[in-house]
Amino acid sequence: MNASIHHLPAGQVRDAAVPARARIGVVYNPRSHRNRGQDLYFGGREDVVVATPQTRAQIVEVLTDFARRGIEYIVINGGDGTVRDVLTCGHSVFGDDWPVLAILPKGKTNALNVDLGAPADTTLIEAIDAFETGRRIVRRPLQITRLDGEGDPLLGFIFGAGAFTHAIGAGQGVHRLGFFDSLGVVVTTAWGVLQTVIGRDSNPWRRGMRMVIRLLPEGVPAPHSGHGEAGRREILLASTLHRMPMGLKPFGMERGGLKLALMDRPRRRLMAMLPLVVAGWQPKWLAKAGLHQLDAEAFELTVEGKFILDGEAFDAGAYLVAQGPEITFVAA
């Protein structure tokens, strides 16, 4: 399919004129793990249009058309990566004034949907009906902007660097073994902990990454325990989600806002206790041992290697990581 808008009567796909009263748009990613051409039925409603963009440029075209037509409600049919692409591409279209959004969780992890608390088996027709009957939840995505002013901002919900980059690569292998959603997160986390505990210092899971982090608005350097090099961190994780998959609590207690988890050096004692920590245990010695759970309005980051945003790697460089616009999501 191309990037044009499609009206899907009774589950059939064909080119058609968009009804004048259309107010609900669906961005459908056929490549998402649980889609593969399925779940396209929406009851033949005349106020719904569906688009299947194949590239980010086409997503911009689709969202621009949605804005021109006055679409009030957009259902994103795909996983976290699809959500990231729609939010990133839609920033130039909607700015701080977004339509109401819903997520149809069809990806491999669907972390945002876990936070929103929507049923994992929600169908397209149920997501559409939720516009009138569902719960409304406000979230602010992360907004990542290059400090040199080049390129457009990226918007997403889970940001990571250091060992987190290796974890995403390991996660792809976990997916090939058949572990998805929260179970995939747990298996990947367990594998990373094992590699860090038993690995040598030359192991990429233990080397960490050079990065400089300044917490805003004060601009003070992020705390460092003194374990390992001052300019190197084992892992950086940041998010605005309130709840993470499988109830993991890398930032401590559940809360809103921009949160960071920083590990300085993967000391074996700390790594051995990490499963308890991410389950919610917060001993007073954590920061002294090299694990920092922080809140910030924003932070500046200079990182020597690639970072991950919602499952995709982006180039090293200097960035501002802040909170993006308030977006209202609907959960069935």
Q: From CA 326, how far away is CA 242, in angstroms rounded?
A: 14
Q: Is 199 exposed, middle or buried (0-12, 13-18, 19+ CB in 10 A)?
A: middle
> Which of 109, 139, 169 is the last residue before a domain boundary?
139
Regarding whether 86 and 10 lie in a shared domain, the answer is yes
Q: Is 319 exposed, middle or buried (0-12, 13-18, 19+ CB in 10 A)?
A: buried
Structural domains of the chain, count: 2
Regarding whether 242 and 175 lie in a shared domain, the answer is yes
> 139: which strand partners?
327
Question: How many residues would you count in the chain?
Answer: 332
Regarding whether 269 and 201 lie in a shared domain, the answer is yes
148: in domain:
no
Regarding whether 85 and 38 lie in a shared domain, the answer is yes
pLDDT of residue 311: 85
127: in domain:
yes
Q: From CA 221, how far away is CA 191, in angstroms rounded?
A: 31
317: in domain:
no
Identity of residue 310: D
Q: From CA 27, how far away is CA 62, in angstroms rounded?
A: 8
Which CATH number do you get for residue 89? 3.40.50.10330
The pTM of this model reads 0.84
Span 274-293, average pLDDT:
93
Cβ atoms of 82 and 88 closer than 8 Å: no
Cβ atoms of 157 and 321 closer than 8 Å: no
Span 24-53, average pLDDT:
76
Regarding whether 280 and 193 lie in a shared domain, the answer is yes
Regarding whether 172 and 249 lie in a shared domain, the answer is yes
Q: Which helix (H) or strand (E) holds 9?
A: none
- Give all strands of the β-sheet with 100-105 in edge-to-edge order: 5-6, 48-51, 24-28, 73-78, 100-105, 327-331, 135-139
152: in domain:
no
Strands 100-105 and 327-331: parallel
Which CATH number do you get for residue 237? 2.60.200
Regarding whether 120 and 185 lie in a shared domain, the answer is no
Tokens of 286: 């954590």
318: in domain:
no
pLDDT of residue 292: 97
Cβ neighbours, 10 Å, residue 124:
24
- C-alpha distances (whole Å) from 116 to each of 128, 260, 332 are 16, 20, 10
325: in domain:
no
321: in domain:
no
Would you say residue 197 has pLDDT above 60?
no
Q: From CA 240, how far away is CA 322, in angstroms rounded?
A: 10
262: in domain:
yes
Regarding whether 166 and 115 lie in a shared domain, the answer is no
Tokens of 185: 């997160």
Strands 298-303 and 209-216: antiparallel
Instruction: Kindly give, in sequence order, each residue whose CB lies less than 8 Å from that of residue 48, ignoring residues fewer than 6 positions away.
Output: 7, 8, 22, 24, 25, 26, 42, 128
Tokens of 149: 């002013």
Residue 220's Cα: distance from chain center in Å?
26
Span 231-249, average pLDDT:
92
pLDDT digits (tens, 9 = 90+) for 114-149: 999 988 888 889 999 999 999 999 999 999 999 999
Identity of residue 236: L
Regarding whether 186 and 56 lie in a shared domain, the answer is no
pLDDT of residue 81: 92
The larger pLDDT score, comparing residue 257 to residue 208, is at 257
- C-alpha distances (whole Å) from 152 to each of 121, 143, 319 are 34, 10, 12
Q: From CA 137, how far away is CA 16, in angstroms rounded?
A: 33
Average per-residue pLDDT for the chain: 83
Span 8-22, average pLDDT:
38
Regarding whether 85 and 21 lie in a shared domain, the answer is yes
pLDDT digits (tens, 9 = 90+) for 134-189: 999 999 999 999 999 999 999 999 999 988 776 665 444 433 434 344 444 444 44
Span 318-323, average pLDDT:
98
Domain extent, residue 297, equals: 158-309
Regarding whether 93 and 44 lie in a shared domain, the answer is yes
Regarding whether 54 and 125 lie in a shared domain, the answer is yes
Cβ neighbours, 10 Å, residue 312:
15
Would you say residue 37 has pLDDT above 70?
no
pLDDT digits (tens, 9 = 90+) for 44-90: 788 898 999 989 999 999 999 999 999 999 999 988 999 999 999 99
